[in-house]
Chains A and B, each alone.
Chain A
């Protein structure tokens, strides 16, 4: 900017004066602007910045003085230095007016060119310096602005930093508190560990495998019998282990260090004062990422008392099991006896009928022999003897049936036809129960699968149910036995037309020793035994009864199934025909 040519405004109403001024001031450094009136001068002043204004005081129209005043009044031009030119050298009044109007200096015409040039040079120099100062000032202002911005940014950053410092301080305080609490807890834990060691008869160890440093607690030393001052070593520890177990424990420790992680051993040690003790040693080996052992720590516990208790417990348990076994055997014997007694009790009830039934063949034999002995007529001996033989066999069969019913317990079950069993019981009951108006109806399903059963026991169940119906019914009783098959089951029901069983008795009807006929000799075991026997056959027995409308006992047996039907070549045909090939082909469904 400073390299620009400095502008100087020359104002005079006479062109030759302007020419003269131009000639005097002509310089490559100056841009001389001519104005022949105040108006032109003002116009130029509006457009450009001038370093100096050379002004003729006397001009027509707006005079030089007035122009000077206008220039000084305008903000933009107030600092432009004005050099008046006056023709009247000694006109002091003009000079004073000129200064009052804002002139900086004046020259009298005719103008001395050197003085004009030097004065102008001073103005130009001043202008240039002022302009340079203004530039420097602007730069300075700019610098100040930048600095303020930087300061603000610094302030913001400072505040942020402050906040972070506060936060961090708070964090540190919290961490510090936590640390203090942890330390307290650690101390508590340490105390607890110490207590636990004392209470449990245990001691802890912590072996740094890398450095070889080993910490063992005072309790550890105590239970092993190591002196408190002595340095600990694993060799010493191994030496404390019972000789019988030393090799095994050493091997276990080697294995642990090579590839193990969990340490759990029980062994005996020899304590210098307490003698042989049982120890449990429980620990853990930690390893680095490469799997090298780092630390091995854990606890040793004196479990001598526990071992002794365990031994005693095992002894008592064995003894208890033995006692239970004995009692179970006795109970089983009692149960077997009970069942037999119950059957014999049934026989007692049936005794009259049995006597009656045996008396018939005996009667025939007796009469036949009396007839034969009389010899009144030519006797047909063969016919008589055959009759005697037949009747004796009949009596024998009755006795055989009776013995079959009262024989010792048979524990085995074999596939049997329920209908056959019912028929047999019907034969036994119908002839042996000498009751007026007793009627037994059979409604037997023709296609029953066999049932794995102990026929003696099941016969006892059915006899019991019928006997109960007869005894409860008083005189006129109608009992219906029905059989049916379905859903892999065989159902047998014994229904009577008796008085029925009240609901409060129904609940206890299968309970042992529950009876409503104590005075007439009921043991209260009949139905309980029925229940036991049926349950042992994998079946169930239940009662439906309504007072005044009779009772129905229903037994559901699982049907026996052919197990090996498909294994043999003719198995399919056998299975279809439903004919068992042998008893061993059957198994009870429940046990499959």
Chain B
């Protein structure tokens, strides 16, 4: 079963998303702070990172991705954010191997993205890939 590391400082979001993902058969480790996620999430050996972009402890999505990829360089990431996608496009391109799912999250759409990323059909793995095709 794919292992998903979930990070969001919004408790309600983390709670329901964790339950929905678990119902779909995923093994989920959920955190509400970037520091906890990077400190404890590495041992979880995730196949996929789903993280919020802006977090209250000022460790944002980019920092979390960078930190985890020190150990798992090929770790794909799905960024969830309430910000408009235009404002994050450049940051995501710089990050590479990451796709954006906008809040509020349509769970079926998210599931599609997860499957795509994990099966490699969604080309988010390349630095210069066109992320907009996955949006």
Contact with A along B33-53 (1 / 0, CB 8 A): 000000000000000000000
Within the complex, what minimum Cβ distance (angstroms) separates B114 from chain A? 15
Determine if B20 and A356 form an interchain contact, defined as CB atoms under 8 angstroms apart. no
B118 at the interface (CB under 8 A from A): no
A390 at the interface (CB under 8 A from B): yes
CA distance A376 to B25 in the complex (A): 12
CA distance A77 to B1 in the complex (A): 193
Among A352, A371, A390, point to the contact of B20 (Cβ < 8 A). A371
Determine if A387 and B12 form an interchain contact, defined as CB atoms under 8 angstroms apart. yes
- Which size class do A's interface residues fall under? 20 to 34
Contacts of A363 in B (CB 8 A): 10, 13, 80, 82, 103-105
Determine if A434 and B20 form an interchain contact, defined as CB atoms under 8 angstroms apart. no
CA distance A355 to B105 in the complex (A): 14
Determine if B13 and A367 form an interchain contact, defined as CB atoms under 8 angstroms apart. yes
For residue A376, which residue of chain B has the nearest CB?
A: B23
Determine if A355 and B84 form an interchain contact, defined as CB atoms under 8 angstroms apart. yes
A256 at the interface (CB under 8 A from B): no
Known: A352-B84, A367-B107. A391 touches B12 (CB 8 A): yes
Contact with B along A430-442 (1 / 0, CB 8 A): 0000101001000
Contacts of A371 in B (CB 8 A): 16, 19-20
A360 at the interface (CB under 8 A from B): yes
CA distance A42 to B16 in the complex (A): 184
What's the count of A-B pairs with C-beta under 8 Å?
71
Within the complex, what minimum Cβ distance (angstroms) separates B4 from chain A? 15
Contact with B along A180-204 (1 / 0, CB 8 A): 0000000000000000000000000
B60 at the interface (CB under 8 A from A): yes
Residue picked from B10, B12, B105, most chain A C-beta under 10 Å: B12
Known: A364-B10, A367-B13, A434-B87. A359 touches B103 (CB 8 A): yes
Determine if B83 and A367 form an interchain contact, defined as CB atoms under 8 angstroms apart. no
Among A352, A360, A370, A436, point to the contact of B103 (Cβ < 8 A). A360
A357 at the interface (CB under 8 A from B): yes
Determine if B12 and A362 form an interchain contact, defined as CB atoms under 8 angstroms apart. no
Contact with A along B1-31 (1 / 0, CB 8 A): 0000000001011011101100100000000
Contacts of A434 in B (CB 8 A): 54, 83, 87
CA distance A368 to B105 in the complex (A): 11
Determine if A367 and B16 form an interchain contact, defined as CB atoms under 8 angstroms apart. yes
B32 at the interface (CB under 8 A from A): no
For residue B17, which residue of chain A has the nearest CB?
A: A367
CA distance A146 to B84 in the complex (A): 142
Determine if B104 and A362 form an interchain contact, defined as CB atoms under 8 angstroms apart. yes
Contacts of A361 in B (CB 8 A): 12
Determine if B83 and A356 form an interchain contact, defined as CB atoms under 8 angstroms apart. yes
Determine if A360 and B23 form an interchain contact, defined as CB atoms under 8 angstroms apart. no
Contact with A along B81-109 (1 / 0, CB 8 A): 11110010000000000000011111100
Determine if B81 and A356 form an interchain contact, defined as CB atoms under 8 angstroms apart. yes
Contacts of B87 in A (CB 8 A): 352, 434
Within 8 A of A (CB), among B55-95: 58, 60, 80-84, 87
Residue picked from A355, A362, A367, A391, most chain B C-beta under 10 Å: A367
Residue picked from B23, B82, B84, most chain A C-beta under 10 Å: B82
Main secondary structure of the interface of B (DSSP, over half): mixed
Contacts of A390 in B (CB 8 A): 12
Within 8 A of B (CB), among A357-391: 357-368, 370-371, 374, 376-377, 387, 390-391
Among A355, A360, A370, point to the contact of B10 (Cβ < 8 A). A360
For residue B11, which residue of chain A has the nearest CB?
A: A364
Determine if B82 and A358 form an interchain contact, defined as CB atoms under 8 angstroms apart. yes
Within the complex, what minimum Cβ distance (angstroms) separates A387 from chain B? 5
Among B15, B20, B54, B82, point to the contact of A355 (Cβ < 8 A). B82
For residue B83, which residue of chain A has the nearest CB?
A: A356
Determine if B16 and A368 form an interchain contact, defined as CB atoms under 8 angstroms apart. yes
Determine if A374 and B103 form an interchain contact, defined as CB atoms under 8 angstroms apart. no
Known: A356-B54, A358-B82, A436-B60. A364 touches B16 (CB 8 A): yes
Contacts of B20 in A (CB 8 A): 367, 370-371, 374
Within the complex, what minimum Cβ distance (angstroms) separates A11 from chain B? 172
Determine if A366 and B104 form an interchain contact, defined as CB atoms under 8 angstroms apart. yes
CA distance A114 to B105 in the complex (A): 199
Residue picked from A360, A365, A387, A434, most chain B C-beta under 10 Å: A360
CA distance A363 to B50 in the complex (A): 15
Contacts of B10 in A (CB 8 A): 360, 363-364
Determine if A367 and B82 form an interchain contact, defined as CB atoms under 8 angstroms apart. no
CA distance A585 to B20 in the complex (A): 57
Known: A434-B54, A434-B87. A360 touches B82 (CB 8 A): yes
A–B Cβ pairs within 8 angstroms, 30 of them: A352-B84, A352-B87, A355-B84, A356-B81, A357-B82, A359-B102, A359-B103, A359-B104, A360-B10, A360-B13, A360-B82, A362-B82, A363-B13, A363-B103, A364-B12, A366-B105, A367-B16, A367-B17, A367-B20, A367-B105, A367-B107, A368-B12, A370-B16, A370-B106, A370-B107, A371-B19, A377-B23, A434-B54, A434-B87, A436-B60
Contacts beyond the supplied A361-B12, A387-B15, A391-B12: 13 A-B pairs with Cβ under 8 Å = A355-B84, A359-B102, A359-B104, A362-B82, A362-B104, A364-B12, A365-B104, A366-B104, A370-B20, A370-B106, A434-B83, A434-B87, A436-B60
